[in-house]
Amino acid sequence: MANTPEDLSYTKDHEWVRAKGDQATVGITDHAQHQLGDVVYVELPKVGDKFEASEPFGSVESVKAVSEVYMPLGGAVIEVNESLNDSPEQVNEDPYGDGWMIRIKIDNPAQVDALLTSIEYEDYIKEEAAE
Amino acid sequence: MLKRTPLYEAHVSIGARMVEFAGWEMPVQYAGHIQEHMAVRLAAGLFDVSHMGEIEIRGADALALVQLISTNDASKLLDNQVQYSTMTNELGGVIDDLLVYRLNHEYFLLVVNAGGTDSDFEWIRRNAEGLNVEVHNTSSAFALLALQGPRAEQILQGLTDHMLDRIPYYWSQRVMVDGVDCRVSRTGYTGEDGFEILCDSANARHLWNRLLVTGSDRGLIPCGLAARNTLRLEAAFRLHGHDMDETTTPLEAGLAWVVKLGKGAFIGREVLLKQKEEGLKRKLVGFEVLDRAPARDGYPVAIGDRQVGVVTSGSPAPLLKKNIGLAYVPTEHAAVGTELSIVVRGRNVPARVTDTPFYKRERKYD
């Protein structure tokens, strides 16, 4: 069973968000890294890049496949996790910690409330698996 | 409705992730793609490849039919010998690649790709008209297991009295494995030593379980299609439907060694002969990406701003820890060392044409 911390927010594209004021840290969920398998490459945007909500901001690759990662909220990138260049396996090993991907400045912090809670996200995973 | 092999329940029961492949529901991975890949390189892995097709050709003209549809020269085979070959159409395009087993002088077994089994069978039957042969699609009667890796022989030897070291590379024997009547060949699609084991579907589960139990203390683990694909790519084995198809010839695919233009008539020979005389316009080459971004199937290959080809197989190579691939490029850009770009999500990433195979084991059995 995938680990889904209660203090984070989630998207149906399997990103997690740790929001604080108008800033947020973003990564992919434990469930997502399980589905992907061994991550061997992560492509991230540059600091200063701006994205709309649901726009792809990068990609994460296992040996087998490429998956895009999507912006949970509109905003600008203020920091990227450069350590994933050398150690992409952190996405598997610690998806909510060292495997974080970007920090953003959120355009509209009120939209954080529209993201999924951990319970809603767990239900969503179950629905997806049942399909 | 997807087809299932006799081992479907066995895969699900040990937590395999199942995917659709060529109309079959197949295990793509069990414990993990990289772990499975490395097990085959360093110890051993067991694959269910029962989705592969078996076509039997029997009768006085069996050899004549094989010679007509296959580009390699089956007249060179002795009983129990195995040969890699391609089947080409009238235009020299690759219908499929296959293994040809000579069981006796009037009895050949062809092992073909899952996706092509039915159409290959129809093609062979059409071309058998007027010949004294019987052609049967016996795919559903058989299961096929691939036991691959440097420890494959010692693991299999634990389940049979037959001296396996007497089966050379690309030879087969009828072998009793733990009481099950099998056709065991020293062949595979991983670049390692190992065996492919053909048995009745009814015995597959017994054999699968016994092999996993016997081999577990030697590091044997079940392996899925994901590992099979990266293993074959490191060995630069072509995958039909990706690296070659009916729009490419075996010569372009780098398989001239299985095209015996001097053996007599076969389907596609005239076109292939002409292509050989005129020279190839394009070739399948191996390349290494000089960047962390992996190349993937379908990515464009460019020189400067000009697209010159396309990646047909691309992946990170788990053993080599490099990003490698195969691509068709014009012959003038096919020399080893040629600098190319792979277009990765709009970005030109540097790559270089390299020698293949990317990985070659030290062979014991040539």
Q: Is there a domain that residue A112 lies in?
A: yes
In chain A, how many domains are there?
A: 1
Q: Specify the DSSP element, H or E, that contains B94.
A: strand B94-104
Q: Per-residue pLDDT tens for B89-111?
A: 999 999 999 999 999 999 999 99
B149 and B230 belong to one structural domain:
yes
Q: Does B29 contact A37 at a Cβ distance shorter than 8 Å?
A: yes
pLDDT score, position B296: 97
pLDDT score, position B362: 78
Pairing state between β A102-106 and B220-222: unpaired
Q: Is there a domain that residue A91 lies in?
A: yes
Number of DSSP helices (H) and strands (E) in chain B, helices first: 8, 19
Q: Is there a domain that residue B21 lies in?
A: yes
- What CATH number is given to the structural domain containing B332? 2.40.30.110
Closest partner CB to A37 (pick from B33, B293, B296): B33
Q: Is there a domain that residue B257 lies in?
A: no
Residue B245 CA to chain centroid, in angstroms? 14
pLDDT score, position B366: 41
Q: CB A52: neighbour CB atoms within 10 A?
A: 12
Q: Which backbone phi and psi does B198 adopt, to 5 degrees?
A: -100, 130
Chain A CB contacts of B318 under 8 Å are 63
pLDDT score, position B306: 96
The DSSP secondary-structure symbol of A111 reads G
Residue B92 CA to chain centroid, in angstroms? 20
Q: Cα-atom radius of gyration of chain B, to the nearest Å? A: 20
Q: What is the mean pLDDT of residues A14-41?
A: 95
pTM: 0.94
Chain B CB contacts of A63 under 8 Å are 33-34, 37, 226, 230, 315-316, 318
HEC sequence for B106-120: CEEEEEECHHHHHHH
Rounded CA separation B73/B75 (Å): 5
Q: Per-residue pLDDT tens for A53-83?
A: 999 999 999 999 999 999 999 999 999 999 9
Q: Is there a domain that residue B195 lies in?
A: yes
B151 and B43 belong to one structural domain:
yes
Q: Which domain holds residue B317?
A: 281-354
Q: Cα-atom radius of gyration of chain A, to the nearest Å? A: 14
- What CATH number is given to the structural domain containing B184? 3.30.1360.120
CB B111 within 8 A of CB B101: yes
* Residue B246 token pair: 């009916």
Residue where one domain finishes, among candidates B234, B268, B301: B234
B168 and B39 belong to one structural domain:
yes
Closest partner CB to A63 (pick from B292, B293, B316): B316
Q: Is there a domain that residue B45 lies in?
A: yes
Q: Does B32 contact A62 at a Cβ distance shorter than 8 Å?
A: no
Q: Is there a domain that residue B130 lies in?
A: no
Closest partner CB to B315 (pick from A43, A59, A63): A63
Q: Is there a domain that residue A1 lies in?
A: no
Chain B CB contacts of A64 under 8 Å are 28-29, 33, 226, 229, 315
Q: Which runs of consecutive H residues, i.e. helices, occur in B33-77?
A: 33-42, 62-69
Distance from CA of A21 to the nearest CA of B (A): 33
pLDDT score, position A130: 80
Burial of B61-95, coded b for 16+ CB within 10 Å and e otherwise, reads bbbbbbbbbbbbbbeebeebbbbbbbbbeeebbbb
Chain B CB contacts of A66 under 8 Å are 294, 296
Per-residue pLDDT of chain B (366 residues; tens, 9 = 90+): 899 999 999 999 999 999 999 999 999 999 999 999 999 999 999 999 999 999 999 999 999 999 999 999 999 999 999 999 999 999 999 999 999 999 999 999 999 999 999 999 999 999 999 999 999 999 999 999 999 999 999 999 999 999 999 999 999 999 999 999 999 999 999 999 999 999 999 999 999 999 999 999 999 999 999 999 999 999 999 999 999 999 999 999 999 999 999 999 999 999 999 999 999 999 999 999 999 999 999 999 999 999 999 999 999 999 999 999 999 999 999 999 999 999 999 999 999 999 999 999 976 544
* Residue B227 token pair: 């590992």
Rounded CA separation B100/B82 (Å): 6
B154 and B228 belong to one structural domain:
yes
Closest partner CB to B32 (pick from A37, A41, A66): A37
The DSSP secondary-structure symbol of B233 reads H
Count of residues in chain B: 366
Closest partner CB to B33 (pick from A64, A66, A85): A64
Nearest of A84, A100, A93 to residue B32 by alpha carbon: A93
Which residues of chain B have a Cβ shorter than 8 Å from any chain A Cβ? 28-29, 32-34, 37, 226, 229-230, 292-294, 296, 315-316, 318, 345
Rounded CA separation B237/B326 (Å): 10
Nearest of A75, A66, A68 to residue A112 by alpha carbon: A75
Rounded CA separation A36/B184 (Å): 35
Residue where one domain finishes, among candidates B205, B234, B263: B234
Nearest of B228, B197, B190 to residue B211 by alpha carbon: B197
Q: Per-residue pLDDT tens for B290-326?
A: 999 999 999 999 999 999 999 999 999 999 999 999 9
Torsion angle of alpha carbons B92, B98, B103, B109, nearest 10°? -90
- What CATH number is given to the structural domain containing A33? 2.40.50.100
Q: Is there a domain that residue A67 lies in?
A: yes
Closest residue, chain A, to B29 (C-alpha) = A37
Count of residues in chain A: 131
B29 and B162 belong to one structural domain:
yes
Helices B33-42/B225-234 angle, 10° precision: 50
Rounded CA separation B30/B14 (Å): 8
Rounded CA separation A80/A51 (Å): 14
Interface test with B, best of A36, A38, A67 (most B CBs within 10 A): A38
Q: Is there a domain that residue A130 lies in?
A: no
Closest residue, chain B, to A63 (C-alpha) = B316
Q: Which backbone phi and psi does B43 adopt, to 5 degrees?
A: -140, -95
In chain B, how many domains are there?
A: 2
Q: Is there a domain that residue B344 lies in?
A: yes
B154 and B226 belong to one structural domain:
yes
Predicted confidence band of residue A106 (pLDDT cuts 50, 70, 90): very high
pLDDT score, position B364: 58
The residue type of B206 is H
Q: Does A63 contact B226 at a Cβ distance shorter than 8 Å?
A: yes
Q: Is there a domain that residue B210 lies in?
A: yes
pLDDT score, position A87: 96
pLDDT score, position B274: 98
